[in-house]
Chain A
Amino acid sequence: MPSRRPVITGTGIISAAGCGVTAVWESVRTGRTGLGPLTLFASPRFANHPVGQVRADVDALAGRVRGSRSDKLCWLAAREAWAAAGLAANPKKINPVRTGVMVGATVGGMPGAEQFLTTLLREHQHRLGPLRFHECAGAADLCAQQIGARGPVTTLSTACSAGAMALLAAAELIAQGEADVVLAGATDSLARLTVNGFGSLLLLDPHGCRPFDARRTGISLGEGAAMLVVEAEETAVARGAKILARLAGWGASCDAFHATAPQPDGRGALQAMQRALERGGVTPAQVDFVSAHGTATPDNDAMEARALKQLFGDHVPPFSSVKGLFGHTLAASGAIKAVLAVQSLGAQAVPGTAGFEVPDEKLGLEPVRVFRAQRVDRLLSNSFGFGGNNVALLFERPGVPPVATAAARIASPPNFVTTTTGSKWFAVLGVGVISPAGKSLTEIARTMGGGGAATSWFDVPALSPGDRAQVYAAGEPDPEQLLEPGRRRRLSRLQQMAVVAAHQALRTTSAATLAPERMAVAIGTGLGALNDTAAFVENMILKEERAPRPALFTNSVHNALASQVAIECRLAGLNSTPVQREICFETALWQAATELAGGRADLALAGAADELNQYHLAAGRRWGWWPESSPAIRPFANALAQPARPLPGEGCTLFALGRADGTTPPLALVSAIRIGRRETNDAAAEAAWILETLRRDGVAPDAPDLLLTGANGLRAADEFYQAVAAALSRLAGRPVACGAYKQSCGEFHSASAFGLLTAIGLVRGEIAAKHPCKTIVLLTLSPTGTKGMCCVRA
């Protein structure tokens, strides 16, 4: 049996402690810290706090590559990793369709948004240029474009564990056979938002961070990127690549406890570490070293020490934290630690803990102080994020005799339905929705029967006083029925939407009786909590950093949505927040399905949410994305003299997926969940991709009656969707109609979650259709090239 074991064949890194693996390892060896003064931007309030700023000229190093600082950092690390793996020189040795990119990112182009808002609020000028690379998804798009990846490409944003989450997703892709090579890691640049945000939480240590030290008071922020080439052992061996390390185990969990504070008893962290060891088939005694998260906040280090003592008892292996060398690089942290793990396994030496001097008796543990040689066969690396999003990764030296294959280690049966024909289907057990077309499938069916949702007006004072934009606005979530005042008082409207939809989706399931750690959540968002983020930054700019607002900052983090849902509905399994623009929902669906199929969850909540925001509307208007005013969205109205342009929308749609347990019949079945990337507009190739995916999951290729698409009235995109449907008809040998749903929800990044609900309504016969629809393929094509699909039937 050829091995689908994920191995590492290349690494790359750029950080305050050096550019390139060799330089960084030299800093680690000598313990030379990268912390220093903040010069990247002015921060009146936090100027005296040391940061891990990348001192190299990032723009010059990146050359002609365009993107945010974070995007460029990512590509610089990726370029090094790709070359180190021997793939820059020999790109033909791998299959692009089986090559993916997984990036963790939380800051994205935030510095550009800060610049835009500063100019707008202080000089009353609209300079949109800096907003162009706002999204976190830019780095993954850039890397994919540079290496020509046409397999799964996506971005995950689980705060400080995002880098480890991206590596976990890469490992799953390899282990499940969905990709052979995945360029994976993470990036984050410094931003005024994060400096002021962590400052507002009183979590910045003016002395520089002191992990596990009795005097520690907080983190030092850092920036950087690290990328790794994760590859299936069989393809790495076949192409003669040098295997640097094995990614032997991985595990995720969620505290489901608090927006920022870790569960004090370390339960969530322990769970993630245990899952990583189980997956790797090793016992705690076989772990030689732990690369701690060790942020140097009082709470994190106390919690982590407690979790280590619970896992290892009296035999906690040597451990250290490198945050004193790099600063806390947020998403990049887990990826930087992964690169160092590979170095440790190769050099048989471990990093020390810069900043640590005085042992904390209350912890009862002391980290390794300085770099030293030691035997390291297996190394466990921890990453814990806001919202209690925990990920642990287990790395193994290639020479160590491998334990059983990953597949053999899965104790629980997969949670999908297999039909008599051998196809794999996930049951949709419940839905929750807050949309412009209604707050239930029945309401939405009525709206769609009437031709689509009504538009309304949204105030956009950012354009000019009194200006408005025509939009598809979602109704109010009405949390009063579900949440007591104490539990909803700090939730933003977007969070209220997600929490209300989650309760709705879980109501018809057995969630109340399941163990929390057996329930996973993945909620995609294209742009996240725009309104809270904007409010925090406005306040920061207008008040010159006085009185920063902590609640706005904690709400601004992309994964605050999924974390809040996890807290409200006590879901302690994997918790993820994909942010890959138009396919953030398909990524969420894929992650949820992967947890179910792997038997790690009995129930998974998957969905997506986005909200309208005046700055987004203002920018879109100036760029000509949104019209001044226009008729509502009319997909495929290309014959009209004046084609309708899309109007912006918003909403939240969540699905409870699992195995039908007999108590309630499933609403619908979902299969053939896949994400990918295309480089050209080739309709026949996309149709072939759809059929290949259907076949992969045992769905008859002639099954689909309808291709339900993200068509929005823009001619080129609509015509391409129609061409794909026509090609699908030819290949499948029967007519496949082409449909659309954005006339009922508007145009926004995560609209395809509403698309899946539309498909469910159609296959159930609740939404009226011209022709009977028994099986529907939902297809989403992003203008940046990524794509996602799934197949739905009753």
Chain B
Amino acid sequence: MEPLIEELKQKIIAGFNLEGVTPAEINPDAPIFGAGLDLDSIDALELVAILEQDYGITILERSVADKAFASVRALAEFVTANRT
């Protein structure tokens, strides 16, 4: 799980253009959105696109996304369970 968590952190930093943020600064157990990283609903949707692009996971409902994005760790578990 840890390598995937690192990978996802990298994708979040690159995908959201988070200048100056290092992976170490992202707490894997903190909520990805609405917390320290100052990311908003459009970022959450961009993450949905990244998941589809890179892991073949298609999310069509907001409620699924909200659950998956509870934290980077929760996201890693979601990716592991759903990747194609």
Contact = CB atoms under 8 A, between A and B. Distances in A.
Interface of A: 199-202, 206, 217, 258-261, 298, 485-486, 489-490, 546-551, 554
B40 interface: yes
A480 B68 CA distance: 34
B77 interface: no
Nearest to B52: A547
B61 A202 contact: yes
Contact of A549 (B17, B19, B49, B61): B49
B49 A548 contact: yes
Nearest to B53: A547
Interface of B: 16-20, 38, 40-43, 45-46, 48-50, 52-53, 58-62, 65
B32 to A, nearest CB: 15
B60 A202 contact: yes
Contacts of B49: 200, 547-550
A201 B45 CA distance: 6
Given A217-B62, A489-B17, A490-B17, A258 B53 contact: no
Nearest to A46: B60
Contact of A202 (B16, B38, B50, B65): B65
Contact of A217 (B16, B42, B58, B61): B61
B60 A546 contact: no
Nearest to A299: B41
A286 B49 CA distance: 48
B12 to A, nearest CB: 12
Contacts of B42: 201, 259-260, 490, 550-551, 554
B53 A200 contact: no
A200 B19 CA distance: 25
Contacts of A217: 61-62
15 contacts: A199-B60, A200-B45, A201-B42, A202-B45, A202-B48, A217-B62, A298-B62, A485-B19, A490-B16, A546-B52, A547-B49, A547-B53, A548-B49, A549-B46, A550-B48
Nearest to B15: A551
A550 B46 contact: yes
A486 B38 CA distance: 8
B57 to A, nearest CB: 10
Contact of B46 (A260, A485, A551): A551
A548 B16 CA distance: 15
A547 B48 CA distance: 8
B46 A202 contact: no
A550 B45 contact: yes
B41 A485 contact: no
A536 to B, nearest CB: 11
Nearest to A297: B62
Contacts, number: 56
A202 B62 contact: yes
Nearest to A205: B61
A362 B18 CA distance: 36
Nearest to A49: B60
A489 B46 CA distance: 13
Nearest to A260: B42
Nearest to B37: A486
B59 A202 contact: yes
A258 B53 CA distance: 26
Contacts of A549: 46, 49
B51 to A, nearest CB: 8
A554 B42 CA distance: 9
Contacts of A259: 42
Contacts of A490: 16-17, 42-43
Contacts of B38: 486
Given A486-B38, A546-B52, 4 more contacts: A199-B60, A258-B40, A489-B16, A490-B42
Nearest to B64: A202
A551 B15 CA distance: 11
Which of A202, A549, A550 lies at the interface centre, i.e. has the most chain B CB atoms within 10 A of its CB? A202
A547 B15 CA distance: 13
A490 B49 CA distance: 15
Nearest to B38: A486
A550 B17 CA distance: 15
Contacts of B17: 489-490
Contacts of B60: 199, 202, 206
Which of B20, B43, B59, B62 lies at the interface centre, i.e. has the most chain A CB atoms within 10 A of its CB? B62
A200 B41 CA distance: 12
Contacts of B41: 258, 260-261
A300 to B, nearest CB: 13
B6 to A, nearest CB: 21
A200 B18 CA distance: 21
A169 to B, nearest CB: 29
A200 B20 CA distance: 28
A259 B43 CA distance: 12
Contacts of A489: 16-19
Contacts of A550: 42, 45-46, 48-49
Contacts of B20: 485
A38 to B, nearest CB: 16
Contacts of B58: 546
User: Which 7 residue pairs spanning A and B have beta carbons closest together?
Assistant: A550-B45, A489-B17, A547-B52, A485-B19, A547-B53, A547-B49, A202-B62
Contacts of A199: 60
Which of B19, B40, B45, B46 lies at the interface centre, i.e. has the most chain A CB atoms within 10 A of its CB? B45
A71 B5 CA distance: 50
A215 to B, nearest CB: 11
A224 B30 CA distance: 45
A206 B16 CA distance: 29
Nearest to A546: B52
A714 to B, nearest CB: 41
A255 to B, nearest CB: 14
Contacts of B65: 202
Nearest to B50: A547
A221 to B, nearest CB: 15
A554 B49 CA distance: 14
A448 B18 CA distance: 39
B30 to A, nearest CB: 17
B48 to A, nearest CB: 7
Nearest to A487: B38
Contacts of A258: 40-41
Nearest to B62: A202
A536 B83 CA distance: 24
A202 B65 CA distance: 10
Nearest to B48: A202
Nearest to B39: A486
B11 to A, nearest CB: 13
Contacts of A551: 42-43, 45-46
A754 to B, nearest CB: 30
A546 B52 CA distance: 7
Nearest to A489: B17
A260 B42 CA distance: 8
A741 to B, nearest CB: 36
Which of A200, A548, A550 lies at the interface centre, i.e. has the most chain B CB atoms within 10 A of its CB? A550
Contacts of B53: 546-547
Which of B38, B58, B60 lies at the interface centre, i.e. has the most chain A CB atoms within 10 A of its CB? B60
A546 B65 CA distance: 17
A59 B40 CA distance: 42
A258 B41 CA distance: 10
A342 to B, nearest CB: 36
Nearest to A548: B49
A258 B45 CA distance: 15
Contacts of B18: 485, 489
A549 B49 CA distance: 6
A3 B52 CA distance: 59
